Amino acid sequence: RVVALLLSDRVSGLVAIVIYILILLSIFVSDLPVPYQDYGWVMIPFAVAGYYAVVYFICKSTIGQSWLVLLYSMVIQGLQMGAAILIANGIGCEVCRMPDYVFLFFISSIASAIPVSIGGVGLREATFAFGSQYLNVDDGQAVALSIVFYLTSLVASLPGIAYMLKPEWIKKHKML
C-alpha cells in the first residue's frame, strides 16, 4: 500500500507538470515545431483522466482523495515554476523568453526523475543545454537556471538530515 501511495503521488506530480507543459505549449511557446501545438490544452482532460485511471488501478482506496492530491501537485508545481521564474529573472534571462525557460524547466523536471543519476544531476543540465538550442534561448543562462534551482533545493533540503539522523531529538524539542 505504501508503494502504491508513493507511486500515485509521483504520478500526480507528473500529471501536474504535463498540464503546465500543455498550457505553455498552447499559449506561450512558439519556436517549437510541434504539430497542433495551439490545441495542446485539449489534451489536459485526457491527462487528468489518465491520472484518475492510474490511481484507480494502483490504489483504489485513495481514489476519493486523488483530486485533492492532484490539486496539491498543481500548487506545488506552480510554486516551483514561480521559483524558476524568480531565479531566471535573477540571472538576467529575457522576460519575453521566460515561458521558454519555464518550459525547459518542466521538461528537465521530467528528465531528472529518470533513475539513472543521483537527484537528476546531469540530466537536468543536459535537458537545459539541448533544449536551449531548439528554443533559441541563451544556453549559459538556461544551464545556470538549472544549477541554481538544484542548489537551492539541495540547501532547502539539508535540515531534513537532522530528522533522518535524530528523529527523537526533533520530537523532544517539539520542532515537528
Whole-number pLDDT of residue 119: 64
Name the more confident of 89 and 175.
Answer: 89
Residue 138, phi then psi, degrees to nearest 5: -65, 120
Continuous H helices in 59-91: 66-90
pLDDT, average across residues 132-137: 88
| Burial degree of 42 (CB within 10 A; 0-12, 13-18, 19+) | exposed
Region class of 130: left (phi > 0), else alpha (psi between -120 and 50), else beta: alpha
Amino acid at 138: D
Query: What confidence tier does 41 reach under pLDDT thresholds 50, 70, 90?
Result: confident
Taking CA atoms, 159 is separated from 80, 164, 168, 170, in Å, by 19, 9, 15, 11
pLDDT of residue 131 exceeding 80, the answer is yes
pTM beyond 0.95, yes or no: no
pLDDT of residue 30 exceeding 60, the answer is yes
